Amino acid sequence: MSITLTGADWLQFFAHFLLLSLLAVGGAITTAADMHRYLVDERHWLTDAQFSASIALAQAAPGPNVLFVAVMGWNVGLNAGGMGTAFLGVALAMLGSLIPSTTLTYLAARWGHANRELRGVRAFKQGMAPIVVALLIATGWILATGSSYHARDWPVWAIAVVSTLIVWRTRIHLLWLLGAGAFIGWMGWL
Amino acid sequence: MTDPTGRPRPASLTELFVALTLLALQGFGGVLAVVQRELVERRQWLTREEFVEEWAVAQVMPGPNVINLGLMLGHRYFGLRGAAVAVAGLLAAPMVIVLLLAYGYSSLGDNPHVAGALRGMGAVAAGLIAATGIKLASALRAHPLGMAAVVAAGVATFVGIVVLRWPLAWVLLGVGGLSCVGTWFKLGARE
């Protein structure tokens, strides 16, 4: 795929990530649906396959999930020319995604730390705690089952349940478990 | 190194950077399970209670949750410099790796073994995150709301997200808002 991006296009690309950064309550991945709408459907800067591959690749690589944004910027840049524009795409996508949210979080963290004895601050942090714990369990559940419940996916559920029990009950290093999961999948048993 | 109250903490910006880089490099399919294991269980920079509280803020603020958590942790120890170093530590090395993978992906992406291995790692990662939630539940034992209300809030959250598929913002505002108001009254009654 080959496209042309003008300076104004890159500016709009950057501005779109700046905006999504502020809307990304619950993590960067929650704005992926809108990135698809903008980059694939509206601007045609990425193909559908490139979009899906960007997310899958970042999930498989080590590091925070937000790096899927870097891969998207990379692919848009490659489509628009070569390595130089690819690095430009990475820089604009990542800076756009991070500057607004980190600035806001930094200010909130500073205020919250200075006022940590206030009843309102303690009520917020402690009041959210049960929701946060339940959200983690819900996220694990959703990742294991995807959006559908098919009986033929039982090996995936089994692996998720077994790794839940092992992580909960033992101190085995997490990389061994991931390695085992990768091996089982590589052999085609999933 | 320990702080004045005897709690472990990073001795320098370099130690903070290295710790978060090592942590990020272990985080396949999401860093959260590793953050809990490394910062709470191994290095003990945070207690379970502190981790859950900081995580609540990181989750409610916009942006990547793990980046927000690292930023808040770095700020607590070294102010603005600490916040910047923590974010850089979480992102720098993994970014190089993911771009190298993106560069080589075209030759690997169609391989069924590779696709299967990714599925297997995804299933394990789901288990890691669920187990992290189960472990952190012990931090709720002394919660001001009491066990019954904590369980009710947790179940409502799970049902809202998994069964009813409500948007996260509704759950945080609705269930989270009720829980915060309840906690506020309980804290007031204690004082």
Q: Residues, chain A, total?
A: 190
Give the whole-angstrom CA distance, residue A101 versus residue A123: 23
Per-residue pLDDT, A142: 80
Average pLDDT over residues B144-173: 90
Q: What are the angstrom distances between the C-alpha of B133 and each of A62, A74, B73, B119?
A: 21, 34, 20, 22
Range with top average pLDDT, A52-66, A92-106, A127-141: A92-106
Residue A26 pLDDT exceeds 80: no
Residue A168 pLDDT exceeds 60: yes
DSSP per-residue codes, A123-155:
HHHHHHHHHHHHHHHHHHHHHHHTTS--GGGHH
Per-residue pLDDT, B143: 93
Using DSSP's 3-state secondary structure scheme, residue A24 falls into coil
Residues 160-179 of B with CB under 8 A from A: 161-162, 168-169, 171-172, 175-176, 179
Residue A17 pLDDT exceeds 80: yes
Yes or no, beta carbons of A109 and B27 under 8 Å apart: no
Average pLDDT of chain A to the nearest whole number: 88
Residue A77 pLDDT exceeds 80: yes
Per-residue pLDDT, B78: 94
Average pLDDT over residues B68-83: 94
Average pLDDT of chain B to the nearest whole number: 89
Query: A148 falls in which pLDDT band (50, 70, 90)?
Result: low
Q: Which residues of A144-169 are buried (b: 16+ CB within 10 A; e: fewer)?
A: bbeeeeeeebeebbebbbbbbebbee
Q: Does B8 touch chain A (CB under 8 A)?
A: no
Range with top average pLDDT, A166-170, B154-158, B160-164: B154-158
On the 0-12 / 13-18 / 19+ scale of CB atoms within 10 A, A9 is middle
Per-residue pLDDT, B149: 96
Residue B116 with chain A: CB contacts under 8 Å = 185-190
Of the listed ranges A79-88, B52-61, B179-188, the least confidently predicted one is B52-61
> What value of ipTM does the predicted structure carry?
0.83
Residue A147 pLDDT exceeds 60: no
Residue B63 with chain A: CB contacts under 8 Å = 21, 24, 27-28, 97-98, 100-102, 104-105
Which of B40, B36, B177, B165 shows the shortest CA–CA distance to A130?
Answer: B177
Q: Does B184 touch chain A (CB under 8 A)?
A: yes
Per-residue pLDDT, A164: 93
Residue B146 pLDDT exceeds 90: yes
Give the whole-angstrom CA distance, residue A1 versus residue A12: 20
Of the listed ranges B95-99, B143-147, B166-170, the least confidently predicted one is B166-170
Residue B30 pLDDT exceeds 80: no
The predicted model scores a pTM of: 0.84
Range with top average pLDDT, A37-51, A162-176, B175-189: B175-189
Q: Does B21 touch chain A (CB under 8 A)?
A: no
Per-residue pLDDT, B51: 92
Partner residue facing B143 (CB), from A60, A130, A141: A130
